[in-house]
Structure 1
């Protein structure tokens, strides 16, 4: 087995006297599509915030490609190959879809130049066009993000995340608030992206990820409960007891 792309060792997260995560130990292999699942209150969002650098863990270490990144500033993650897509859409709604992706690419790739207009950099324009096509938004290239449907805004955020060409893509409940049709489109996009890079999802819809993920990790009350293939998770008695009965 290859070296894990991401390792979480003994992660504990406290908020005052409340322990949101308790001694989580998991590792993620490169090139795999994995989902972190669990009932409401399982600790999924806290786990995502910790591994994405939103805040450092109270205890434990996080390693990316063997490098200790515990406590690394969140803005540094893109530079080392980690991109994030959050549950709440984070786009510039007054800008067009193309401008959103180009600005994201500028921030992550272009060096500051006093004499050159970054908006005229042809490579950034070409990259933005490519990424919009990649996520199925070429037809709305010039529309303001505010005018896009919710599912399209989520796809736009993914295009922005892809602008740094990440090795690892972290996604927090990517289908939250979507219609069934939008959800189908998004899951197809995620499956396609997972052919090119490691993808880790945080989801509460177990049935949704069962059909696309190679591996599932189940949390319950902030603790590790189980991990395995979809079939192994379906047949796990503890998972059935604490999770499946709640859907």
Structure 2
């Protein structure tokens, strides 16, 4: 088998006397959509923050394409090929859609020196426009971000993550606050994006997860309860007991 794009070995995290994660080991293969699920308080957010570099593990190792990420600062993850969107929409509401993405493209291109003369960054505009096409927002390029519908704002945030052309995209509850129609549109977008990159996501909408994902990790009390295909997870009696029976809706 090929080397996984990301692997974690015996990952643990504690905050003082609170053990948030304990002994999680998993490999993430290229080209897959992997969902991380679990009841409230299961450790999903902590685990996701470790995967994205926002937190360092207390124990264990995280490798990306075979390289140990222990000494890598969070802001350098994007330059290694890892990008993340957040549960709470993180955009500039008073900038246009294009300007939001162009600022991100310029920051990435110039190693976070956003004051570099735009005229010297000839590929920035093209990259921003290309990214908007990829998320279906090219027709909204001149619209102020604050006037977009909620689902479009989430797509814009994903576009901001995509300007780095990541090999691994982490999505934190990408359908949070969406109704059924916007959720379906986001699922279509995620499927499109997955054709060119590996995707990890945290989500609560079980029907969506089971229909979208190639693989599902289930956390419970900070430990890995199950790891398998959607069918295997659905058939797992312990998973059904602690989680699936509580949350089986699309929206």
Please say whether Structure 1 and Structure 2 have the same fold, judged by a TM-score greater than 0.5.
yes
Contact map agreement 2:227 2:233 (CA 8 A) in 1: yes
Q: Counterpart in 2 of 1:140? A: 140
How far does the alpha carbon of each residue in 1:104-153 deviate from its partner, in whole angstroms, 9 at most, with x for none?
Answer: 0101114799x973167442111111111110111211111111111111
For residues 88 and 190 of structure 2, the distance between their equivalents in structure 1, rounded to whole angstroms, comes to 17
For residues 71 and 121 of structure 1, the distance between their equivalents in structure 2, rounded to whole angstroms, comes to 30
**Which region of structure 1 is more displaced relative to structure 2, 24-33 or 121-130?**
121-130
Matches of residues 1-12 of structure 1 in structure 2 within 5 Å?
A: 1-12=1-12
Gapped regions of structure 1 (runs ≥ 5): none
Gapped regions of structure 2 (runs ≥ 5): none
For residues 226 and 97 of structure 1, the distance between their equivalents in structure 2, rounded to whole angstroms, comes to 40
| TM-score (ref. length: structure 1) | 0.95
Q: Counterpart in 2 of 1:128? A: 128
Contact map agreement 2:46 2:55 (CA 8 A) in 1: no
Q: Counterpart in 2 of 1:232? A: 232
Aligned: 1:196 with 2:230: no
RMSD: 1.7
> Any idea what SS the aligned residue of 1:10 has?
strand
> Any idea what SS the aligned residue of 1:211 has?
helix
Contact map agreement 1:39 1:220 (CA 8 A) in 2: yes
Deviation at 1:71, TM superposition (A): 4.6
Q: Counterpart in 1 of 2:63? A: 63
Aligned: 1:245 with 2:221: no
Matches of residues 20-169 of structure 1 in structure 2 within 5 Å?
A: 20-110=20-110, 117-118=117-118, 121-169=121-169
Contact map agreement 1:84 1:170 (CA 8 A) in 2: yes
Structure 1 residues 93, 112: closer, same or farther in 2, change over 3 A?
A: closer
Q: Counterpart in 2 of 1:221? A: 221
How far does the alpha carbon of each residue in 1:56-105 deviate from its partner, in whole angstroms, 9 at most, with x for none?
Answer: 11111100000000252110001110000111111111111100101101
Deviation at 1:204, TM superposition (A): 2.0
For residues 203 and 12 of structure 1, the distance between their equivalents in structure 2, rounded to whole angstroms, comes to 21
Contact map agreement 2:110 2:116 (CA 8 A) in 1: no
For residues 164 and 2 of structure 2, the distance between their equivalents in structure 1, rounded to whole angstroms, comes to 24
Contact map agreement 2:12 2:59 (CA 8 A) in 1: yes
For residues 116 and 60 of structure 1, the distance between their equivalents in structure 2, rounded to whole angstroms, comes to 39
